[in-house]
């Protein structure tokens, strides 16, 4: 059996719901889409023709190095209208793809195709943790970048999406695919039918509600951020818009450096770091972010009470203040209360 054949079988099993994540649930569709991309873009070009019984630890180490240095980097058609996907390398991509490859090889061991997983224990680059100072600079730079982007005529969907993610720590796919039916304004909560961790109920801060209030078609039907030219589809251009916003020539060099190599997912980590600095408990931060965990959060996640909404409000206000104390969406400026 080749690696390519194994990957095809792994994806077939995952799509059938027989590959479980760390929470014991079938993989979410968004995760499966990411897995397909990493297999197609990195694993198959470098290892697809290899036979399973030929793969060594040295092959895995070389695979990681090749992805790190960008050997698989390229631009490819995305399958969407006039869309392209830029495939990048780097340590983060190599680390995550090696993790997926290790999971696929563990599946091969469970199926009896090989005796051991040679990817176990192979060294990968570690995460570079951001300090609180980094997060503060990131928020300030992002606030100025969003103001500049709006002044330059950037699509309102992109600007509002980035603000919503920054205030809530939502995953990119959750924000992009958000529907009005999942947002409960009066009770201040999100009830996501499908997220990376399954159904997810979370508090919605007043700052996030202000972002949603200002959107064209607010509190209507369908997607909160609809595609501009395709009926019934969600906005799919956030990656390209993010690149324009964070690398704008209107920004000074310091702001561009602060935003360099960041992604919308960094904002999720930034929200967690800000909550920790404010003294919020780990279960509270987990409930705000929609983490799937055991213990307090697991039993609490379907109930959003006043205390949790208050914590989300305080956290959202702190983020808004760090970004400049205002948000500008659809030609309206909303002043945030200052966090004390």
The string of DSSP letters for 33-93 reads: HHHHHHIIIIIHHHHTTSBGGG--HHHHHHHHHHHHTTTT-EEEE-SSTT-EEEE--SHHH
Q: Calculate the dihedral angle through the C-alpha atoms of 149, 152, 155, 160, rounding to the nearest 10 degrees.
A: 30
Tokens 């099993």 correspond to what residue? 13
Query: Residue 164's pLDDT is what?
Result: 97
d(CA 35, CA 296): 30
250, with CB counted inside 10 A (0-12, 13-18, 19+), is middle
Phi, psi for 151 (deg, rounded to 5): -65, -30
SS3 300: helix
Give Cβ neighbours of residue 189 (< 8 Å, ≥ 6 apart).
Answer: 201, 202, 203, 204, 304, 309
d(CA 287, CA 281): 10
Structure tokens at 237: 């251009």
Tokens 């395709």 correspond to what residue? 230
Chain centre to alpha carbon of residue 83:
20
Tokens 């595609």 correspond to what residue? 227
**CB count, 10 Å around CB of 18?**
11
Give Cβ neighbours of residue 155 (< 8 Å, ≥ 6 apart).
Answer: 228, 235, 237, 241
The CA-CA-CA angle for residues 8, 197, 173, to 5°, reads 75
d(CA 118, CA 114): 10
Q: Please choose, from the candidates 128, 93, 135, the residue with its C-alpha nearest in 3D space to the C-alpha of residue 268.
A: 135
Beta strands (DSSP E) in 164-223 are 183-184, 189-195, 198-203
Query: Residue 242's pLDDT is what?
Result: 96
pLDDT truncated to tens, each residue of the chain (340 aa)? 999 999 999 999 999 999 988 767 788 887 899 999 999 999 999 999 999 999 999 999 999 999 999 999 876 665 554 555 667 788 888 999 999 999 999 999 999 999 999 999 898 876 555 554 589 899 999 999 999 999 999 999 999 999 999 999 999 999 999 999 999 999 999 998 877 667 789 999 999 999 999 999 899 999 999 999 899 999 999 999 999 999 999 999 999 999 998 999 999 999 999 999 999 999 999 999 988 653 444 444 455 678 899 999 999 999 999 998 644 343 333 343 333 3
User: For the segment 125-139, what is each residue's pLDDT rounded down to a tens digit?
Assistant: 765 555 545 898 999
Query: Residue 86's pLDDT is what?
Result: 66
d(CA 222, CA 220): 7
* Strand 84-87 to 189-195 pairing: unpaired
Domain architecture of the chain: domains with CATH: 3-110 (no CATH), 132-335 (1.10.443.10)
The CA-CA-CA angle for residues 169, 175, 176, to 5°, reads 145
User: For the segment 305-339, what is each residue's pLDDT rounded down to a tens digit?
Assistant: 788 999 999 999 999 999 986 443 433 333 433 33
d(CA 176, CA 160): 10
């Amino acid at each position: 059996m080749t690696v390519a054949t194994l990957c095809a079988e792994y994806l077939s099993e995952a799509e059938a719901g027989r590959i479980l994540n760390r929470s014991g649930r079938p993989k979410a569709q968004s995760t499966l889409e990411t897995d397909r991309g990493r297999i197609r873009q990195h694993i198959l070009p470098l290892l697809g023709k290899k036979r399973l019984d030929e793969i060594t630890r040295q092959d895995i180490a070389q695979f990681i190095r090749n992805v790190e240095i960008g050997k698989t980097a390229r631009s490819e058609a995305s399958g969407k209208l006039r869309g392209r996907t830029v495939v990048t390398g780097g340590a983060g991509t190599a680390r995550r793809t090696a993790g997926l490859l290790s999971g696929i090889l563990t599946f091969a061991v469970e199926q009896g195709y090989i005796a051991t997983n040679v990817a176990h224990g192979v060294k990968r680059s570690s995460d570079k943790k951001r300090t609180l100072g980094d997060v503060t600079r990131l928020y300030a730079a992002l606030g100025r970048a969003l103001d500049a982007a709006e002044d330059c005529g950037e699509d309102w969907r992109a600007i509002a999406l980035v603000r919503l993610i920054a205030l809530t720590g939502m995953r990119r796919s959750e924000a992009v695919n958000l529907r009005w039916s999942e947002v409960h304004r009066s009770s201040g909560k999100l009830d996501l039918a499908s997220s990376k961790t399954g159904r997810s109920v979370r508090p919605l801060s007043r700052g996030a509600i202000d972002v949603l209030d200002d959107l064209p078609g607010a509190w209507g039907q369908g997607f909160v951020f609809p595609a501009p030219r395709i009926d019934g589809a969600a906005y799919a251009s956030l990656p390209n818009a993010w690149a324009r916003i964070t690398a704008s020539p209107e920004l000074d060099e310091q702001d561009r450096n602060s935003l360099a190599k960041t992604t919308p997912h960094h904002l999720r980590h930034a929200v967690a770091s800000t909550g920790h600095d404010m003294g919020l408990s780990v279960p509270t931060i987990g409930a705000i972010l929609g983490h799937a965990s055991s213990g307090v959060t697991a039993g609490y996640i379907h109930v959003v009470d006043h205390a949790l909404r208050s914590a989300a409000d305080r956290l959202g206000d702190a983020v808004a203040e760090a970004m400049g104390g205002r948000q500008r969406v659809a030609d309206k400026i909303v002043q945030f209360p200052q966090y004390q």
